[in-house]
Structure 1
């Protein structure tokens, strides 16, 4: 069976949601939200805050291995910080060359680095040389900034620099998250590099996963927003749950939401948890229309205990029919 990996999703898949999605089952590994590297060596407390799984052997509470992802554009400082990250991320270090966010790109980071294959090579080479050989260094990339003209060259630069494997999100920076994902480009990249390639982008259903593997030629797939939309997608792919979502599963979704809200009340959790829940609900609406009703009910609430009370009252609410994707 191929590997299924949970994608890093900045501003969405924090440690609490990573726990919910990996605890559901089916994932072989996950990646943290990116940790931004500038001109300093980040202290351990930053990693503990952004990826508290490191306090559990870099595993989620359910036992899924987690890799730390670093984002930055200076090879020397990326290498220095990778030394620190290697101490807390025994499963590996992932390098972000795919983030399309303006706040990241305006500083030359994330997907903007895909305009400079030589710099990609320099960053990966520096990181690979800085950390123990037992720590895998991997990279996540898109197909380019505004077009795919350098996609293969960028992938080769990363692989030649020492990346043990590549995750390829099959869109450019300018594409953002607009469909379609160009899985055929993943196949071209996989044919041009000697390291394993993981396909990523626009996998929302089991059928999408099947088509992605067929078109890309990749056995391994990384799933992001599809898993947020359907927390049981990995289990469906594994054959452990029904292939398609149903109203009968809505109580399971509510239980997952309630667990998420309880976790948000733990000491040290950020105050903006209510906002992330609402973002999660906006994705769940794609699969279950009941999430739309719940989102409406809590839209103006900002107190997590108050939101929890509303969700608990809806635990046994009747189903209202399936949404169409």
Structure 2
């Protein structure tokens, strides 16, 4: 059976949403939002804030193992920080070579490093040497910066540097998140390296998952925005829910939204939690028309209690558990 992983999604899948999306137990693992490494050794409180799973043995509340993702471009500082992060009970250290954000790329990080396979090799080798052998070091990459000419070279550099597995997002940096995902390139990469390759990109449905596996040749798949748009997608893939979303599932979706809102309220450092709910609804609209109605109803609301009251009104009809 395919292993399924929840992708890191900067600015979207913080630990609260990771908690909610992994609460079904249908994911085999998840990756944190990236922790940015510059020229300093980050203290434990940074990881406790962004990756609080480390305070529970590296597991989400639902029991899904979590991997810490680091982003940076300096091999030495990444190695020093990875060495420390490895003491905090993660289930692995992942290195980000796929972020397309301009603010990250402007400083030579994320997907921009795909222009220099030799630097990729140095970074992974330094991190692998700094992290105890029992803790996996993995890497997430795209197909390149503006084209795919260095895709295989980058993947080979990462694997030869010591990455124990690669996640390949089947688009270049310049592609951003525009469809399609070029899953055939994942097959080229998987044929060129001797480490496991996990396919990623444009998996929104069970049919997408099946086609991604068939074209990429990869058994394992990492799912990002597809899981945000349909929080039951992994259960559908595993055959425990209907293959296709139905209107009758909307009350269950509302329960998940309410759970998310309440967990955000419990988070002492979270501001504007109603805005986070609106962001999630903007993805849920892709799957359920009712999400568009709820989004419209709360669009101008500015507080979590008002949002929760709107969720209790017809046709949503959320009722808190007794």
Do they superpose with TM above 0.5?
yes
1:6 aligned partner: 6
CA separation in 2, counterparts of 1:105 and 1:131? 26
Residues 311 and 317 in structure 2, CA contact (< 8 A), matched pair in contact too: no
Give the secondary-structure state (helix, strand or coil) at the position aligned to 1:133: coil
Map 1:172-187 to 2 at 5 A: 172-187=172-187
1:61-110 Cα offsets, whole Å, 9 max, x none, are: 01000000000000000000001110114310000000000110001000
1:122 aligned partner: 122
Give the secondary-structure state (helix, strand or coil) at the position aligned to 2:77: helix
Give the Å deviation of 1:315.
6.4
Are 2:237 and 1:237 equivalent residues in the alignment? yes
CA separation in 2, counterparts of 1:114 and 1:89? 29
1:217 aligned partner: 217
Give the Å deviation of 1:267.
4.1
1:77 aligned partner: 77
Residues 5 and 222 in structure 1, CA contact (< 8 A), matched pair in contact too: yes
Question: TM-score normalised to the size of structure 1?
Answer: 0.96
CA distance 1:180–1:265, change in 2 (3 Å): same
Residues 71 and 95 in structure 1, CA contact (< 8 A), matched pair in contact too: yes
Residues 53 and 59 in structure 1, CA contact (< 8 A), matched pair in contact too: yes
CA separation in 1, counterparts of 2:215 and 2:267? 45
2:289 aligned partner: 289
Map 1:1-325 to 2 at 5 A: 1-314=1-314, 316=316
CA separation in 1, counterparts of 2:86 and 2:205? 34
1:14-71 Cα offsets, whole Å, 9 max, x none, are: 1111011100231000000000000000000000101111111111101000000000
CA distance 1:75–1:315, change in 2 (3 Å): farther
CA distance 1:315–1:255, change in 2 (3 Å): farther
1:218-272 Cα offsets, whole Å, 9 max, x none, are: 0000000000000000000000000000001000000000101110111424103
CA separation in 2, counterparts of 1:207 and 1:182? 16
Deviates more, 1:303-312 or 1:60-69: 303-312
Residues 54 and 90 in structure 2, CA contact (< 8 A), matched pair in contact too: no
Structure 1: runs of 5+ lacking an equivalent: 319-325
CA separation in 2, counterparts of 1:284 and 1:267? 23
Residues 236 and 242 in structure 2, CA contact (< 8 A), matched pair in contact too: yes
Give the Å deviation of 1:273.
2.4
Aligned residues: 318
RMSD: 1.2
Give the secondary-structure state (helix, strand or coil) at the position aligned to 1:245: coil
Give the secondary-structure state (helix, strand or coil) at the position aligned to 2:240: coil
CA distance 1:34–1:314, change in 2 (3 Å): farther
Question: TM-score normalised to the size of structure 2?
Answer: 0.97
Give the secondary-structure state (helix, strand or coil) at the position aligned to 1:48: helix
CA separation in 2, counterparts of 1:89 and 1:181? 34
CA distance 1:202–1:159, change in 2 (3 Å): same
Give the secondary-structure state (helix, strand or coil) at the position aligned to 1:23: coil
CA separation in 2, counterparts of 1:157 and 1:254? 45
CA separation in 2, counterparts of 1:274 and 1:195? 42
